[in-house]
Structure 1
């Protein structure tokens, strides 16, 4: 029997192939390290953290009916996600993300999310056929949305009555895809989670602080924006005001997935009725534990 989810995570669920080296790296470096393969993707990273905090996330995504997809479905289910609503395609391969990290951070990454993009609005079927919701009775819970979807689909979601009652939390998949989130700048129910660079793309200007970036997004029409800046301060901006906090200082051992961990921890905190200051503090602490190598629980 399918469980009732506490939150829907819409977007990329794929295999993360991450190479990590304990030394500083630059272009052309060839160094020893470790290579891992784990479930990943923005939607999955958020779902995984939500599950560790005790929530029951369900994913709306596209996963191939290949051996990699079958293995991914099993792994995600075993890690606490409800995978019953995923769109399984016989024609599209399972997506993959590949990254290289050194002691000095992310060196390079390639995201192959072409199957998710090709699936388009098929991944939203449970929200319109009555399984999770419909136009007459739209889904009214929490939704975490990632920017790996196509510009066309994100535009559709921003206008769709299927999302009219949802508490919509939105994050870009990467700085290069940040501009896809433009339709949500004027969305009255969307909360944006971005880093300093992504905020710059959305506002078409450079920012030096998270507070300035949060104000810039509000000036562009955002209902609410949370802006992070790595180990520097982070800000939560609403029309009522901006709060800014400094994250804990930790030794960085990984960076891929840190922003997704921040977003998930913040969502959990607010679902437990934490105020804005407490929610931001808990999210920054969770992200700091994650980049230091600890589980963000």
Structure 2
């Protein structure tokens, strides 16, 4: 995307798949989407996953190479197929998924190559969906002990989650990203009153699981960032865009925010990080599929387009 040379490295763990959209087959999987955008943003990020020994798997490898997503941690499975997902949209453009089980990424194996990659990474991104099968979950638990900075993307896809497993994952995380509905689910599991504000819920969630940073996305209403040690919360509104589909918009938001957060630029404010994340998310929402092509000029044009309409709300 640009000529900036970065020494940062990351690993994303979990599902990679073909999203069967009304417009055709698209590359997908939340951790893959995050890895794609991080690599586009100049941060070398491996994708640790498992695919079948089949044509769908061969096609995924070829496309990821074309998109400059590293494939050195792609495992091949002779028994289980490459994952495919049927994607459905309602009249509001909201998405639902029919996710096949079991598939190859339910059986991600652990070896020294995987341990070394995570051990040497600056951050490790993992999602809750990839833990639906014990074999991949056991691998993830071992890798979490090797990671230095752990980023959980809560991704509740019925029926592939449980309160107990989500609570376990929250206990590992340094940074968590979830959406408004997922916050409500977790708050109810914690026994928090339904009439509490989201700010009150996030404070108790972060305190209960010792989470340092939390992002809650609200779709067209923007996102909030909460810092436990900094003792502040910040809301940034979403940009108004012509929605084509919302597939991968939250993944791009996380990737863009993480790309700024991990640079640890002392001159970068929370507002600037969230603005950049909102910009990339808006671009993806205006595009088809989770991994559209773009360059620096595309994002900069969109930032200027919305500059005069940007705003901020301090929650505290």
1:253 and 2:244 aligned: yes
2:166 is aligned to 181
Offset, 1:242: 1.3
1:276 matched to 2:279? The reply is no
Give the alignment partner of residue 145 of structure 1, picking from 123, 126, 136.
Answer: 126
1:127 paired to 2:114 = yes
Q: Could you say which residue in structure 1 is the equivalent of 2:307?
A: none
Matches within 5 A, 1:1-297: 6-19=9-22, 35-102=23-90, 104-112=92-100, 114-116=102-104, 118-120=106-108, 122=109, 126-128=113-115, 130=116, 132=117, 138-150=119-131, 152=134, 156=138, 160=142, 163-176=145-158, 177=161, 179=163, 180-187=165-172, 189-204=173-188, 206=194, 211-221=199-209, 222-239=211-228, 240-272=231-263, 273=265, 274-293=268-287, 295=294, 297=299
The CA deviation at 1:197 is 0.7
State the partner residue of 1:23. none
Using the alignment, how far apart are the partners of 2:241 and 2:110 within structure 1? 38
- Give the drift of 1:232: 0.9
Q: TM-score, normalised by structure 1?
A: 0.80
When residues 147 and 100 of structure 1 are mapped into structure 2, their CA distance, relative to the original with a 3 A threshold, is same
Paired residues of 1:172 and 1:178 also in contact (CA < 8 A): no
- In structure 1, the gaps of 5 or more residues are 20-34
Match of 2:220, SS state, is: coil
Contact 1:236 1:244 in 2 (8 A): yes
The 1:62–1:157 alpha-carbon spacing in structure 2 relative to 1, beyond 3 Å, is closer
Deviates more, 1:255-264 or 1:267-276: 267-276
The answer as to whether partners of 1:44 and 1:59 remain within 8 angstroms in 2 is yes
Q: 1:275 to 1:154 in 2, by over 3 A?
A: farther
* Helix, strand or coil at the partner of 1:262: helix
- Summarize deviations over 1:237-290 as a string: whole Å, max 9, x none: 122221112111222111111111111111111123233332122112211121
Distance 2:222 2:85 in 1: 28
* Alignment: residue pair count: 271
With over 3 angstroms needed to count, the CA separation of the structure-2 counterparts of 1:116 and 1:196, relative to structure 1, is farther
Query: Conserved in 2, the CA contact under 8 Å of 1:215 and 1:242?
Result: no
* Aligned CA distance change for structure 1 residues 108 and 266 (closer, same or farther; 3 Å): same
Aligned partners of 1:8 and 1:59 also within 8 Å: yes
Q: 1:124 to 1:12 in 2, by over 3 A?
A: farther
Contact 1:214 1:242 in 2 (8 A): no
Q: In 2, distance between residues paired with 1:88 and 1:37? A: 21
* Mapped partners of 2:111, 2:177: distance in 1: 22
SS in 2 for 1:61: strand
Structure 2: state its 5+ residue gaps: 1-6, 300-316
Distance 1:207 1:256 in 2: 30
Task: Give CA deviations for 1:148-196 in whole Å, capped at 9, x if unaligned.
Answer: 2225468657754753442111112335347443113333x52110001
